[in-house]
Amino acid sequence: DNFKFYLGKFNNKWGNGIYSINLSNKAPSYPQIGFIFDINSSINYEYIHGQLNSLLINESNSIIYINEVTSTTRQDNIFRNIVAHKLTFKLTNNIIVSGSESIIYANRNFDFHYLPFVAFFTIKDYLGDKDNLQLNADLKFVINDKNYIYTGLYVDEFDPLYIFDKNNQNWIIFQSGIDCKDLFIDKDNLKLEYSWADHRVYRNKLSVNNYYSHNYPLGLWSGPHSEVFYATYRLTL
């Protein structure tokens, strides 16, 4: 009753926001495998491993896909993969926190180093620091069964050695929002959300490790160097 396994080609959405800054449903779907494990009534763990489309041509394989009759070559792209895990903890009935790590790695099919229940940050260094690491934290405060506020912080290329340096790698996306039902009258709903993204997020010093699939960012739909304010008021009569 407390374990769910999934396999398919679809989008995953992580985060409390309307427009997720971590994993959203705005990018094209991609094949993935994963599971959700309810450790107890307060702690939840989720893990995914998926394959993205880098749209970067693998030149080394181009000779294999030559059609000698038409003198054309089929496009073969370099493998780009994502592996991520998230831990959600219900501190109280009103406060829910979650933290996640994700890694983008390329040019290999499935890296068994990034197994569940291990810290990706240390594995990335062990493999020679050639992969792209992201950290994300979410906080949700439930006011009552109809109203809640939330905030999220996404950190790209985090390195504790350079946190306070001028040439740091504190590349972030910040998000905060509120969702209120039956605010003024019955069956109304007010949603407000603000997101701000640094111009360096989602991209890596090695372009093959960018946080993109089919040139769409996996998180916030507007991508780096953007600001989004969302507001809706709905009323059912």
- pLDDT per residue over 123-136, tens digit each? 988 888 889 999 99
Per-residue confidence in pLDDT tens, the chain, 237 aa: 999 999 999 988 999 999 999 999 888 999 999 999 999 999 999 999 999 999 888 877 777 777 777 777 777 788 899 999 999 999 999 999 999 999 999 988 888 899 999 999 889 888 888 899 999 999 999 999 999 999 999 999 877 666 677 777 778 999 999 999 999 999 999 999 999 999 999 998 888 999 999 999 999 999 999 999 999 999 998
Cα dihedral value 14, 16, 21, 27, nearest 10 = 50
- pLDDT value for 29: 94
Residue 88 tokens, joined = 């959600």
Cβ 48 vs Cβ 86: under 8 Å:
no
Residue with the two structure tokens 């991508």? 223
Strand (E) or helix (H) holding 123: helix 120-126
Kindly write down the DSSP assignment for every residue of 177-203, as one continuous string: EEEEESSSSTTEEEEEEEEEE-TTTT-
pTM for the model: 0.88
Residue 190 tokens, joined = 């007010």
- pLDDT value for 166: 72
Which residues are 194's β-sheet partners?
176, 229
- pLDDT value for 112: 87
Query: What type of residue is 98?
Result: S
Residue 103 tokens, joined = 């890694």
Phi-psi region of 215 (alpha: psi -120 to 50; beta: other; left: phi over 0): left
Between the CA of residue 61 and those of 57, 66, 75, 77, 99, what are the distances in Å?
A: 9, 10, 9, 9, 39
Helix/strand/coil for 229: strand
Hey, CA dihedral for 223, 87, 115, 2, is it positive or negative?
Answer: negative
- Could you give the CA distance from residue 149 to residue 125 in angstroms, rounded to a whole number? 36
In tens, the pLDDT along 183-218 reads 999 999 999 999 999 999 999 888 899 999 999 999
- pLDDT value for 2: 95
Between the CA of residue 215 and those of 66, 80, 89, 136, what are the distances in Å?
A: 26, 12, 33, 21
- pLDDT value for 56: 87
